[in-house]
Chains A and B, each alone.
Chain A
């Protein structure tokens, strides 16, 4: 089974070579057989006696990350949708995309997407699922930005990327939590361990993360905003990714995990409310759009909301209806997108205000659109599949009464009304789409081309899909018995055999709801222009898009502000930040852990000479701050150096004293040499504030170092190792001067690199001075 998933990806490697022949034959012709092959592979599983199939291929066995593929009813439904509609979309794209386009790119992205999507629905391993999940985000990004010279395309691609990757990452968090809780990475084992997950305190967090991923991918409110902007993609992409497959990945995820979370009350509340709100809001917004594809985008969002709501209900009837509607929506929405693309292709515009009266020019397209829109609207006719699932939806909203908490039972009461409300608007935009495009008056002067019927090849794919709409409508029970029931059983976990009938009698409440929808919908459609003004009030200035744009802009400004706040380019600021951080952390830590100790017992006696030298050094050191003349400053620094040398003498360190004297002398000489060329030391004309801050930091640092020195001296934890050096200096090193033996014998490596340091410094100085002539100096 792994090859089915990878075939599109592997064969995609050859597409760039094939696409070189595009001047003779359209690349899509070669690509067409790939999804067809996959489709034929999966169709063999369809049948009433279907049993789940499982295959495992090792990837990273030590981490439990393997290609575990599990084909059950739900996966099969999705795999058939992906490969079947994939075939039709490739066929459609052959006629839709011109040979002058970069077709190689297009089909590589498309096949990459197909592999990823098949991977999502077949993976049993959560981390493999996540990998494929992100691959769909990436390939969707590439496909939306296919016409990358178009600014709107780039904006749409980026937006969808940001939102879906945001969701994908949070889903990854959810997966990680789940696999930690259960100790397995397999979804089937997680379902088997559902009671362990439900008992875990991290369960709400895991569920929230997971649902965030599902909601962003499936464009649920308020994450739906990326989908309308993704309509900048070529129409075959919109038909494939943004109606039939990718946006259903979130639904797949929720369906897949509903056996785990289904018994949790908040799962019902969150998922069904998100779905219902999305259904109502998006169907309401769809009526307001002027672009054909935007209408379809909002329609997709609302239909996804409807399916999401049913998955949230979690009852047997609702799950069955949800799975059924996944299939139905894929068929009619795919055909409608292709119709919109055909109209765009033959008239040169998708603006519904410029279109109208195309029925006479494009009768076949119009007929296809008629079936698609009527099915979408749920008009009660026995050959439209949309009606069945819509009625099942109404039925499922009514059967939710069992054992709910207070919040949930309140929702149960209002859900049917909201469902009807959303469906009324669905009816309105469906008819608006149909009559706005094909009915009404012709406006030939506004069209850039004279419209005519599309070529036959362009009509085949939507034709097949509409045929599917009608066939499912005519024989719903046959379709359900073979594989919808298996899919629903995989989600529900029990027997779900359900026959669907068209006629339930006048008294069936669902049918009455359908009648209300049709009646009120017809009235609203007829009076659409009268109440159109309401959109100035309700979405009005409120828009989720603006929130998104504002967030993105704020992130930019705030991060820039933060960076410019501390990245001033001034050395002093950095020093101040670094030093005060050191002081705060060190002193804080010392005080918190009681690290500061003082012990007067083991001290050397104080003598007058030492005190005098220390005093001189102190005065000289402080003097450097106040010295305003170069020479004075150098001499004062020299005093400090010689003072330190004197201390070395007092403290019995002859080698140190010697070195210090020499180094100090050379340093002073160097200072003088350089100071001769340097600008004069200036009076510090800094503000008082800065001086005070500087003083606080430096005194703090000095005090901290004193604290450390005293504490270190006062807490004598272990003895010195110097006895060893003194004892073995002569016997091992052959020298009397212990310091020198340490330097060249015991710790000779230090000395080697100290020599290297001097050498490098000398070379650097030489280079610095030499580089002057090359650059021409000043």
Chain B
């Protein structure tokens, strides 16, 4: 199963990168969201999948899944959420100020 999740993470990365290479700011935001999903899955497979109970200590159970990647992912989710919302507002403000969300048009003047 780890390999399938690895491939899934790869697919997420690929689609994220494809979106990042587009012109529209929106697609860039979508790309970054997909990228963070990919990264989270990537982290998750680094621990071992499905080797025990959820990491909540219970009487009689000694086999738990790896809690460390989960903690890391949790941190990462929050951070990427912060970044995503900032990017979104930035996209909104950029489009409002410049009347475009085309990255090619946001390049500014030549020779700058």
Contact = CB atoms under 8 A, between A and B. Distances in A.
Interface residues of A, number: 99
Given A637-B34, A678-B91, A625 B18 contact: yes
A757 interface: yes
Contacts of A762: 82
B13 to A, nearest CB: 4
A570 B85 contact: no
A778 B99 contact: yes
Interface string A649-668: 01111111001100100110
A697 B92 CA distance: 28
B70 A739 contact: yes
Contacts of A614: 4-5, 8
Contacts of B2: 603-604, 709-710, 713
Interface residues of B, number: 88
B82 A758 contact: yes
A726 interface: yes
B108 A572 contact: no
Interface stretch (A83-91, A217-225, A465-473, A679-687): A679-687
A614 B58 CA distance: 30
Contacts, number: 275
A674 B10 contact: no
A585 to B, nearest CB: 16
Contacts of A695: 18
Interface string B62-104: 0011111011011101110111111011111101110111011
Contact of B17 (A579, A681, A737): A579
A768 B91 CA distance: 11
A625 B17 CA distance: 10
A702 interface: yes
A291 B27 CA distance: 69
B22 to A, nearest CB: 7
A674 B78 contact: no
Given A697-B17, A754-B75, A709 B50 contact: no
Contacts of B91: 674, 678
Given A750-B75, A761-B86, A698 B70 contact: no
Contacts of A651: 44, 49-50, 65
Nearest to B112: A569
Contact of B4 (A606, A625, A738): A606
A583 to B, nearest CB: 10
A715 B104 CA distance: 43
Interface in A698-745: 698-699, 701-703, 705-706, 709-710, 712-713, 720-722, 725-726, 729-730, 736-739, 742-743
Nearest to A765: B89
A694 B51 contact: no
Contacts of A675: 26
Contacts of B22: 572, 684, 694
Contact of A572 (B21, B55, B66): B21
A234 to B, nearest CB: 39
Contact of B50 (A604, A617, A772): A604
A552 interface: no
Interface stretch (A256-264, A423-431, A640-648): A640-648
A754 B107 CA distance: 32
A663 B37 CA distance: 12
Contact of A754 (B33, B46, B50, B78): B78
A621 interface: yes
Interface string B22-50: 11101111100110011011101111111
Given A572-B23, A637-B33, A670-B88, A652 B10 contact: no
Given A603-B2, A621-B12, A569 B56 contact: no
A611 B8 CA distance: 10
A768 B90 contact: yes
A163 B87 CA distance: 51
B96 A777 contact: yes
Nearest to B57: A736
Interface core residue of B16, B82, B88 (most chain A CB under 10 Å)? B82
A571 interface: yes
B96 A640 contact: no
Contact of B46 (A604, A610, A712, A764): A712
A742 B17 contact: no
A769 interface: yes
A675 B101 CA distance: 12
Contacts of A602: 48
A321 B31 CA distance: 78
A678 B92 contact: yes
A633 interface: yes
A361 interface: no
B71 A569 contact: no
Nearest to B51: A604
Nearest to B98: A778
Given A650-B50, A705-B38, A720-B48, 11 more contacts: A633-B30, A648-B44, A652-B53, A659-B78, A663-B77, A674-B89, A722-B67, A739-B71, A742-B68, A757-B79, A765-B85
Listed from nearest, the 10 A-B pairs whose CB atoms lie closest are A702-B14, A706-B10, A761-B82, A698-B17, A709-B6, A698-B18, A738-B55, A702-B10, A738-B67, A569-B107
Interface of A: 568-572, 575-576, 579, 602-607, 610-611, 614, 617-618, 621-622, 624-625, 630, 633, 637, 640-641, 644, 647-648, 650-656, 659-660, 663, 666-667, 670-671, 674-675, 677-679, 681-682, 684, 686, 694-695, 697-699, 701-703, 705-706, 709-710, 712-713, 720-722, 725-726, 729-730, 736-739, 742-743, 747, 750-751, 754, 757-758, 760-762, 764-765, 768-769, 771-772, 775, 777-778
15 contacts: A569-B107, A572-B21, A576-B21, A603-B2, A606-B1, A614-B5, A621-B11, A621-B12, A624-B19, A640-B33, A656-B73, A705-B9, A713-B6, A739-B67, A747-B71
